[in-house]
């Protein structure tokens, strides 16, 4: 019986898009392929087993996913002797693997626009790290999976010679994302007044997310509409202080509410209650908040480039992320036209149904079986 190793260390305490992708694989693959054995590499932060099916073995790996042990000597950290295929689901391929390999590449911003990822001094170190892992994946993976056609196109632009081994496995969204009842005490804990309308922005603080553009567009659209606030759910770092300073410059300190990571129940209420999700990123490999918002019936305003049009289909308003006036116009349209907002909500719900995690897992399983054959 063939053994598949899936590196699941991104499933940890801190939520992330890659963690969601990896969780979908860990959840579905063992049940979809009972004829295969799976070895899951587990993060020690994860206290409970990732799977309970008899064809899964789990091994705790103390080394971080994005660390030197992963990139240069993983086979010395964990026993992979009996593994027939190794799946690296977070962009970088470890060195020293002798079995068949699959790498999921979500985006290649570290190669094309590294300042979008981290413009600080440490970003130079990260750039070398990720560039090494991604380029090794290009050269040595037997197959490369991408979570969108946009990422495949970006890779082919860089490396047309490897186009034949790239497979698109479009990401999905969990059925747990759904429209829910909104509790006033939840919204008030974020700083929203009773009955206050709000726009939502969600995602880690990173330059490519264009959160500055979100705030400037919100200011243009609603400077005189004190009945509408902006809620920004972020995995924050020191750079997010720049956004706080911007809100002060624009006299929006009382109307822009920054949160750190929120509970899943709170996130559902924010998606369900927002006038719209504003997501004007410069680039996305997929963009999980887009799918999550649509599944909760939240209208979406997002960029007209990268993977975002592919993810939302005909459900969203698409804008140029570099054009603050255009973004502001879309915000105004959704806030002031209930018919447009309702149509976007309905289309979003339908589009979200098409973004299925089980189908995503099956697409990856097809890659495994082709390589093992």
Same domain, 202 and 306: yes
In a domain, 177, yes or no: no
Same domain, 363 and 342: no
Residues 6+ apart with CB under 8 A from 116: 109, 206, 207, 208, 282, 283
Q: Is the pLDDT of residue 205 over 90?
A: no
- Count of beta carbons in the 10 Å neighbourhood of residue 166: 20
**Each residue's pLDDT tens digit, 300-311:** 999 999 999 999
In a domain, 179, yes or no: no
Tokens representing residue 329 in the block: 């116009």
**Each residue's pLDDT tens digit, 112-125:** 999 888 888 777 88
Same domain, 119 and 224: no
Local confidence band at 1 (pLDDT 50, 70, 90 cut-offs): confident
Q: Is the pLDDT of residue 13 over 80?
A: no
In a domain, 201, yes or no: yes
Same domain, 220 and 324: yes
Same domain, 270 and 208: yes
Residue 240: what pLDDT?
A: 72
Q: What integer is the mean pLDDT of 20-44?
A: 97
Same domain, 80 and 153: yes
Domain around 133: 3-172+356-372
In a domain, 39, yes or no: yes
Local confidence band at 236 (pLDDT 50, 70, 90 cut-offs): low
Q: Read out DSSP for 57-115?
A: EEEE--S-TTSHHHHH-HHHHS--TT-SEEEE-SS-PPSS--SEEEEEE---HHHH-HH
Same domain, 18 and 98: yes
Q: Is the pLDDT of residue 238 over 70?
A: no
Q: What integer is the mean pLDDT of 40-68?
A: 94
Nearest Cα to 299, choosing from 323, 279, 325? 279
Same domain, 195 and 281: yes
Residue 235: what pLDDT?
A: 64
Tokens representing residue 200 in the block: 């939502």
Same domain, 213 and 318: yes
> How many domains is the chain built from?
2
CA 291 to chain centre: 10
Same domain, 133 and 215: no
Local confidence band at 16 (pLDDT 50, 70, 90 cut-offs): confident
In a domain, 307, yes or no: yes
Same domain, 66 and 145: yes
CATH of the domain at 44: 3.40.50.2000
């Amino acid at each position: 019986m063939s053994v598949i190793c899936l590196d699941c260390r991104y499933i940890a305490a801190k939520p992330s898009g890659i963690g969601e992708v990896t969780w979908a694989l860990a959840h579905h693959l063992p049940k979809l392929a009972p004829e295969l054995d799976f070895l899951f590499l587990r993060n020690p932060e994860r206290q409970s087993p990732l799977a309970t099916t008899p064809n899964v073995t789990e091994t705790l790996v103390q080394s971080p996913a994005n660390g030197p042990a992963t990139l240069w000597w993983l086979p010395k950290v964990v026993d992979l002797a009996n593994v027939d295929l190794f799946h690296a689901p977070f962009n970088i391929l470890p060195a020293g693997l002798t079995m068949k390999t699959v790498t999921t590449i979500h985006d290649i911003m570290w190669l094309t626009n590294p300042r979008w990822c981290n413009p600080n001094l440490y970003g130079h170190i990260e750039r070398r790290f990720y560039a090494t892992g991604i380029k090794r994946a290009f050269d040595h993976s037997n197959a490369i999976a991408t979570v969108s056609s946009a990422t495949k196109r970006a890779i082919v632009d860089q490396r047309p010679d490897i186009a034949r081994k790239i497979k698109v496995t479009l990401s999905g969204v969990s059925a747990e994302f759904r429209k829910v009842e909104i509790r006033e005490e939840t919204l008030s804990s974020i700083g929203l007044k009773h009955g206050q309308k709000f726009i939502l922005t969600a995602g880690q603080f990173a330059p490519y997310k264009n959160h500055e553009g979100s705030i400037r567009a919100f200011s243009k659209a609603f400077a005189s509409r004190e009945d509408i606030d902006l809620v920004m759910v972020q995995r924050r770092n020191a750079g997010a202080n720049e956004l706080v300073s911007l809100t002060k410059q624009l006299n929006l300190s009382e109307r822009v509410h920054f949160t750190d990571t929120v509970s899943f129940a709170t996130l559902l209420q924010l998606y369900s209650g927002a006038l719209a999700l504003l997501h004007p990123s410069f680039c996305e490999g997929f963009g999980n908040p887009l799918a999550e918002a649509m599944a909760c019936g939240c209208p979406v305003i997002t960029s007209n480039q990268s993977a975002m049009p592919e993810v939302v289909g005909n459900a969203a308003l698409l804008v140029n992320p570099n054009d603050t006036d255009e973004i502001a116009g879309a915000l105004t349209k959704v806030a002031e036209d209930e018919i447009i907002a309702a149509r976007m909500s309905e289309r979003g719900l339908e589009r979200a149904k098409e973004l299925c995690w089980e189908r995503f897992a099956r697409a990856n399983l097809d890659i495994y079986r082709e390589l093992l054959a």
